[in-house]
């Protein structure tokens, strides 16, 4: 779901995945591996234990984004941009929990505040999230299902 409020928007989507919580959590928590299965992430490298630098493809542009990542094992992954495009705020969360069918419920949330970037960038970012949000979740689902197959690992 996409919601606007003044100079910010929020995106949220929840899906159920037929895979163990530990594999789902590990896939979302290893931000340094996003470039292996997310086509919009050109590179992803940890600069320290809790800081990740990525180059993200946004159409013809390549955007440097550095985030602080906070992990709560097998529960949530929070990220907040500390360097990148001229936004007041870019932050998000992956929340994982067991579901009733023995798999994992996953919620992905993003909050973007335009700040000095203005409404043009906010609208561009929201259109990008609207278009790419479902594809992002689908890419994670495919990676998780691949890793949960016998003989596969999160390498």
What's the pLDDT tens digit per position in 124-144?
Answer: 666 666 666 667 778 888 888
Asked if 84 and 62 count as a contact pair (C-beta separation under 8 A), the reply is no
38, containing H or E segment: none
The reported pLDDT for the residue numbered 30 is 95
The SS3 assignment for 103 reads: coil
pTM of the model: 0.80
86: its two tokens = 């001229």
Angle between helix axes 118-147 and 21-29 (nearest 10 degrees) is 140
17: its two tokens = 């995945």
Q: What angle do CA 3, 137, 40 make, to 5 degrees?
A: 95
Tell me how far apart the alpha carbons of residues 54 and 98 are, in angstroms, rounded to a whole number.
30
Beta-sheet strands, E only, within the chain = 2-5, 8-17, 41-48, 51-58, 61-72, 76-83, 89-98, 104-113
More confident residue, 139 or 116: 139
| Predicted confidence (pLDDT) at residue 47 exceeds the cutoff of 90 | yes
Confidence of residue 61 (pLDDT cuts 50, 70, 90): confident
| Mean pLDDT value across the chain | 85
More confident residue, 8 or 110: 110
Tell me how far apart the alpha carbons of residues 25 and 44 are, in angstroms, rounded to a whole number.
18
Highest mean pLDDT among 35-44, 67-76, 85-94, 123-132: 67-76
| Predicted confidence (pLDDT) at residue 145 exceeds the cutoff of 70 | yes
Asked if 58 and 71 count as a contact pair (C-beta separation under 8 A), the reply is no
The reported pLDDT for the residue numbered 143 is 86
pLDDT mean over 42-59: 94
């Amino acid at each position: 779901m996409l919601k606007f409020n003044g100079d910010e928007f929020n995106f949220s989507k929840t899906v159920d995945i037929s895979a163990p919580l530990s594999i789902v959590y590990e896939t979302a928590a290893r931000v340094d591996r996003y470039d292996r299965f997310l086509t919009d992430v050109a590179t992803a490298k940890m600069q320290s234990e809790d800081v990740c630098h990525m180059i993200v493809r946004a159409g013809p542009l390549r955007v440097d984004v550095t985030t602080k990542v906070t992990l709560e094992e097998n529960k949530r992954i929070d990220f907040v941009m500390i360097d990148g495009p001229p936004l007041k705020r870019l932050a998000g969360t992956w929340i994982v929990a067991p579901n009733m069918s023995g798999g994992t419920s996953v919620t992905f949330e993003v909050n973007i505040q335009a700040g000095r970037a203005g409404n043009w960038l906010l609208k561009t970012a929201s259109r990008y999230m609207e278009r790419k949000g479902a594809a992002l979740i689908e890419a994670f689902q495919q990676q998780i299902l691949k890793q949960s197959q016998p003989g596969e690992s999160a390498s």
